[in-house]
Amino acid sequence: MTAAATNEQRALVAEALRLLHIERLILSVHDASFPGFADEDIGRGSPYSFGGRAFLRFAAELGFTGVQLGPQGRTSPINASPYDGTLFAKSPLSIALGPLASEDSWQGLLAKDALAAAVSGRPRSADHRVADAYVRPVQDAALRVAYAAFASRDRKDKRRATLARAFAKFTSAHTDWLESDSLFEALAAQHGTLDWQTWPPAWTESGDHREAMDFARFCQFLVHAQHAELRHELAGRGLKLYGDLQVGVSHRDLWHHQDLFLTNYRMGAPPSRTNPDGQPWGYPVLDPDGLSECGPGLRFVRARLVKMLSEFDGLRIDHPHGLVCPWVYRTDDPDPLHAVQQGARLFASPDLPDHPDLARYSLVSRSDLAPDPGHPRYEDDWVRHLSEEQVSRHSVLFDLLVNTVLAHRGQISDIACEVLSTCPSPLAAVVTRHGLGRFRVVQKADPEDTNDPYRTARATPADWVMLGTHDTPPIWRVIDAWRDTRHQAEWARYLAHRLEPTVAQRADFAARLASDPIQLGRAFCADLFVGPAQNVSIFFTDLLGMKDLYNRPGEVHPENWVLRVPPDYGQVYRARCASGEAFDLCGALALALRARFSPLQPAHAVLIAALEQQNRPR
């Protein structure tokens, strides 16, 4: 597309979003999934690479107002889930090598032939899936070359002096977490394992770790500097950058902060509509005794929030029940799945015979709970009554979150709470207290159940609506599976009710949707924009019409977390939009405008016609 055509599309999309009262249109993509240019990509994506930045320009040109990244912490070779990564340290795998080898870059630490050698061995499959086994050693080797160049440069060299000053400033500003993280990396290398529980007791006396720690600090300096550059660039393009506040605490972070967590409990997901068996996440549980106003647990959470809000414009809150009423299970049960199924709410278990240790933490009494002793304790209505004081005590961490966002000149509406099918009453009360919304994941809804929490028709303006998430199949795969089933007909009727303002024409519209999966997909996309929710989030697989799974929740699988944006995404997107097999943003907005404004005003008709022309062959 020409620059003029790009500017035209952005202006059309912006006007349509304004008329439809959509405040935010966010593209969600995790670091490793970004595409890269052929001469810089070693087999894993990065938003900081030249190719990654080009993809974000593509998002801005389409009309997105923001980008949602996933958690960015270090992960292990045996667990690629970003939701199990470190909380403060970013993954060195996200350091883009292209800028390190660029003569125009302020970094210029990597020789071009070294980059070319790293790229040359990249597996062919890496254009579409992360080649983790290849990437880890190659990335480490390239970064060690860059570190050697940084450490050996003449101090009189102006570029070296600039880098040295920036490095010193970074290490001074981040001492609290950087020292423990770099020491952990040095000790893990010395002992040959990330499992600190197997390290010998006298690890503090085992050698000089200065060089290894300095290399770890250098890697963190690079990735944080590249992040700052990206955020500055996106701001210039009108894109907000959102971070992901994961609920879990990594094994690395636990090593340094063991005293902040309970030893006899772990956090997980209770049985729910999405996961009837529950999920034993194994995440540490903050000791409630440390969550007083000056407590160490509260200081830990505050430090994490301050760091994230210095790097992002808004936050996605992963499983917010973990901040309000975490579901916990005993560590002395040898079967974690059995344990999580027999778990309880940390702050709502005043007298459970199988969890006597939780009574001291309860913020409710027996009279506040369901009167039926057989009522499942994981149900949303387990807690029936909450006073204002009880809501305030449940809201300690959320109050901290909101206050920290406001202190960083953010808006409460830039907090996206991943409240899904499970919303226990304490969480609902805290979310309402702060005027926050929840997630409405369209594909999970039951179109025949008017009370289904995922239906977009039930949304409030503060809610976030989406076709799917990183944990669901792409909508195009879902529609394929519904072909010639009752689900297709049920959804056709529901979407016709949402999108056809003329009652007499709804039956015909529903019949067309039920007989044509392409039209059904377009209707799904348009449904996100007809309100009342003002926040729309699109996962990259749904945008691009991809059908491969990104993640299989609750399952360890070698192809989880590795799917990437294809290198020819622009051509793929335009071709699939033309055939109705991708998220045609302009077409969806045109259909939503027809649904919202009836009869159409002349200005609406002109805008709709212009939108419908955008993805047609030229």
Give the pLDDT of residue 272.
87
Is 295 within the bounds of a domain? yes
Is 329 within the bounds of a domain? yes
Q: Which residues of the chain have pLDDT under 50?
A: 205, 618
Beta strands 344-345 and 327-330, pairing class? antiparallel
Name the nearest CA neighbour of 23 among 446, 412, 493. 412
- Residues 27, 33, 35: CA angle, nearest 5 degrees: 95
Separation between Cα atoms, residue 67 and residue 101, nearest integer Å: 26
Name the nearest CA neighbour of 340 among 354, 351, 323, 350. 354
Neighbours of 267 (CB within 10 A): 26
Separation between Cα atoms, residue 190 and residue 204, nearest integer Å: 12
Q: Where are the alpha helices (DSSP H) in 445-485?
A: 475-482
Give the pLDDT of residue 346.
98
Burial class of residue 610, CB neighbours in 10 A (0-12, 13-18, 19+): middle
Is 401 within the bounds of a domain? yes
User: pTM (2 decimals)?
Assistant: 0.96
Separation between Cα atoms, residue 499 and residue 520, nearest integer Å: 11
Give the pLDDT of residue 105.
67
Is 359 within the bounds of a domain? yes
Please check whether residue 160 is in contact with residue 149, taking contact to mean a CB–CB distance below 8 angstroms: no
Is 354 within the bounds of a domain? yes
Give the pLDDT of residue 44.
98
The range of the structural domain enclosing residue 403 comes to 257-301+314-418
Beta strands 240-245 and 66-68, pairing class? parallel
Give the pLDDT of residue 616.
64
Return the DSSP state at 31: G
Neighbours of 451 (CB within 10 A): 7
Give the pLDDT of residue 618.
44
Name the nearest CA neighbour of 537 among 404, 408, 437, 440. 440
Is 285 within the bounds of a domain? yes
Is 367 within the bounds of a domain? yes
Is 209 within the bounds of a domain? no
Number of domains the chain is built from: 1
Residue 62 structure tokens: 């389409």
For 431, residues 6+ apart whose C-beta sits below 8 A from its C-beta are: 320, 398, 417, 419, 423, 437, 438
- Residues 371, 373, 374: CA angle, nearest 5 degrees: 120
Beta strands 279-286 and 261-269, pairing class? antiparallel
Separation between Cα atoms, residue 324 and residue 365, nearest integer Å: 17
Give the pLDDT of residue 5.
65
